Amino acid sequence: MRLNKFISETGACSRREADAWIAAGRVTVNGGPAALGTQVAEGDVVQVDGEALAVRRKDVYIACNKPPGITCTTEREVAGNIAAFIGHRERIFPIGRLDKDSEGLILLTNNGDIVNEILRVEHGHEKEYRVAVERPVTPTFLRMLAAGVRIGGVKTRPCVVTQTGPAEFHLVLTQGLNRQIRRMCSALGYRVQRLQRVRIMHIELGALPIGRWRDLTPAELAPLLAARAVRATAG
């Protein structure tokens, strides 16, 4: 088994993060420095920062209604990191990000193999947000958001925008640039006052109270696992 896959299956992080840890020299195998592409077998001792990792016993998939002020990282030195906030008994990490000032649905797991299925842009998965800005929106503003906005030298993908109040709207994205919605609004002269993610693919925030989390239901989890299995077979 490749080392990055082994690390992701312990629930420590995703494969991409594991590669970064390996490249930074934080990982050893049987006491020796590891390299990208290192293979591990049963009985090998893998350590990160001197701490041994063991294959987890149970997959965990949860949905959390993240409050503003919580950072989507597992780095322990970051105050208000989401792993410490949730305090799960397993070592879980967020699937993707939701910026510190935003709130709403974030998925977490200890299974690094599921991450690409949800995050890869080419899969075209939808994420839906409830947005409030500081002044009334106009039809022109909404049309420009929907058509795509140039931010940082890149034009965003077309998206679905639905007005829900004088200064509020829902927005459905199929990409996830850093702070994308805030930057799109800013480029058009608006400032976001509240940003809440309410859906990722078929998984909805629903009535989950802010600051609380729940396990994904079998019905929510099944499409993710099925899609992962299909892509693994095709690969």
Residue 20 sits in a domain whose CATH number is 3.10.290.10
Please report, as a single letter, which amino acid is at residue 203. I
In degrees and rounded to multiples of 5, residue 168 shows phi and psi of -135, 150
Same domain? 114 vs 221: yes
Half-sphere exposure of 117 (CA within 13 A, CB side): 20
CATH number for the domain spanning 148: value is 3.30.70.1560
d(CA 183, CA 113): 30
Cβ 107 vs Cβ 59: under 8 Å:
no
Tell me the catalytic residues. 99
Per-residue pLDDT of the chain (235 residues), as tens digits, is 899 988 887 878 888 899 999 999 999 999 999 999 899 987 889 999 998 887 655 789 999 999 999 999 988 899 999 999 999 988 888 988 899 999 999 999 988 777 766 766 556 789 999 999 999 999 999 999 999 999 989 999 999 999 999 999 999 999 888 999 999 999 999 999 999 999 999 999 999 999 999 999 999 998 888 766 555 555 5
Which pTM was predicted?
0.75
Total domain count, the chain: 3
According to DSSP, residue 43 is labeled T
Cβ 38 vs Cβ 2: under 8 Å:
yes
Look at residue 122 in the predicted model and tell me its pLDDT: 57
Same domain? 33 vs 137: no
Strands 192-200 and 103-109: parallel
- Please give the structure tokens belonging to residue 41: 């077998």
Same domain? 131 vs 116: no
**Domain residue limits at 10:** 3-53
Nearest of 99, 187, 188 to residue 140 by alpha carbon: 188
d(CA 9, CA 4): 9
Looking up tokens 């940082």 gives 152
Cα–Cα distances in Å, from 136 out to 132, 150, 201?
9, 22, 29
Same domain? 71 vs 135: no
Please report, as a single letter, which amino acid is at residue 151. I
Same domain? 195 vs 212: no
Cβ 213 vs Cβ 65: under 8 Å:
yes
H-assigned helices in 87-216: 115-119, 139-147, 180-187
In degrees and rounded to multiples of 5, residue 62 shows phi and psi of -130, 160
Same domain? 217 vs 113: yes
Look at residue 113 in the predicted model and tell me its pLDDT: 75
According to DSSP, residue 121 is labeled G
Look at residue 198 in the predicted model and tell me its pLDDT: 98
Look at residue 16 in the predicted model and tell me its pLDDT: 87
Same domain? 26 vs 138: no
Cα–Cα distances in Å, from 164 out to 133, 153, 192, 209?
12, 30, 15, 21
Look at residue 117 in the predicted model and tell me its pLDDT: 66
Same domain? 108 vs 139: no
